[in-house]
Structure 1
């Protein structure tokens, strides 16, 4: 019998309880000016200014003018602090999405808003995903995505899948934009100049023999193109959802994938012989790539020698 069936609900972890405002306040502590909210605000300011690596209980306490032990009376673990920081920085979804007509436009607004969160607080992207964040603001974003799809024939499971796809695309977009912003900040180059530098580096190392499709893309200028590939991808996701909804309206069968992707049981269990076999396969694949590269190089040089010999023969004949 599960805990729920036995009417024994699990106790909320301290961080989640703090986020919902249902955790007990410390009986004793420093001056009344101290609070969980002040601690979290100071930590977010520190992360925004110096990155998540600068955040520690000692650094936050120093920023507030207290000792680290004073903070532990309110936030008992750094993991709880990180959870509350993410909750604060994420905020709530904009009401603007409700002003738009249709699920597609509403989800588009939520996508843009999520990207902006990541750009304002890029350190969020470095926090590990350990499950669904069961906090008020994060729940509000999920609710907004589901609400945007409420007038569609999708099931609740399918609506959640679409909302997660939008969130995932926004996160990936935010990671790339934040990375380019950081490169621009540290190098002094503009984001466009960073792209041009990367394109030049690709141009130096990518050959048509080894990576023919990528070489064609480089020569087409994809890495310096002005089009937005992430919004393009989002629109294609929406196109697919729209086609699926049309199929449901026609009475076609649903098509939810039955299982999550997972590691092979032997790999997940850390089996030593399996890991060694995988390593051997990777080394063999690497050797094969090198051999094929050497073959292409030898072929190219042979063609050059034949061409040179042919030119010499023609010259002698003339």
Structure 2
């Protein structure tokens, strides 16, 4: 590749775009990339991503693993194609919303539903920007929703990422509750009640006062959706920022990325040992504070008993 030539598309991405060369040999009539991906998605939907292997997919289709490799040459490519198929295209119904905020909220809700339908997608790594057709279509839909706003291109992408990130976080938590419900046989409400009871046993007002007050207020059994509330407040901030731009306010670029110190990335042994020592000291300090609070509580109880006896 010369300096001016574009990089070659990895085979998985090329398959997603339909520009990869088809195999020259193999059971062409009975086998196709689409059938392979369909079978893999069915396995993942039924039994999780751990159930997906080239051997398992081949068995589901009645072929040998080597037959699959003629079409999908690596499992990583298969996972990418599975994600692409499960993601699908944004529903046309989102275009019924004319205001940018309503359209983004609709996109947020649809992405949460995607994760509920295919929770195994949350186990797949995020390897950079969405280069496949369907993933690109979701990002495009969010950017299109913001086109009539005064936001810059960078700001529109930032808002789109915030929507996607909130949807993914909601999906992660909901998938966890769904799995608990499935494995325990409890209903989602019963799972939430059990979680609240577990917190109730270990969270004390002395050690975690704010969390204790939240538990007593019933946050873990509340019917309110905290993720939707958070998404709404994020969009409140975007709306306020857009209004400020309309009144001539200066833009607020955020150019400082949160990055790990290169010294940590280097894996220096002495640095790791020092960090471990810090963690152990912090643990010891938390334990000492806990003992202190316990001693203070017992002292107060003794004082109270002495006053009563007087």
TM-score by length of 2: 0.98
2:65 to 62, 68, 72: 68
User: Is 1:115 the equivalent of 2:115?
Assistant: no
Which residue does the alignment assign to 1:45?
Answer: 42
Which residue does the alignment assign to 1:187?
Answer: 184
Question: 2: CA distance between counterparts of 1:83 and 1:31?
Answer: 22
TM-score by length of 1: 0.95
Which consecutive unaligned segments of at least 5 residues does structure 2 have?
A: none
Which residue does the alignment assign to 2:220?
Answer: 223
Shift of 1:31: 4.3
Alignment map for 1:2-41 (pairs within 5 Å): 6-41=3-38
2:208 to 207, 211, 220: 211
Deviates more, 1:33-42 or 1:264-273: 264-273
Q: Where does structure 1 differ by over 4 angstroms across 4 or more consecutive aligned residues?
A: none
User: Is 1:235 the equivalent of 2:232?
Assistant: yes
Which residue does the alignment assign to 2:272?
Answer: 275
Q: Secondary structure in 2 aligned to 1:179?
A: helix
Which residue does the alignment assign to 1:290?
Answer: 287
Shift of 1:310: 2.4
Shift of 1:39: 0.3
- Aligned Cα RMSD in Å? 1.1
Deviates more, 1:10-19 or 1:269-278: 269-278
Q: C-alpha deviations, 1:200-242, integer Å up to 9, x for none?
A: 1101100111111001111111111111111100100110000
2:163 to 151, 166, 169: 166
1:58 to 55, 66, 72: 55
Which residue does the alignment assign to 1:265?
Answer: 262
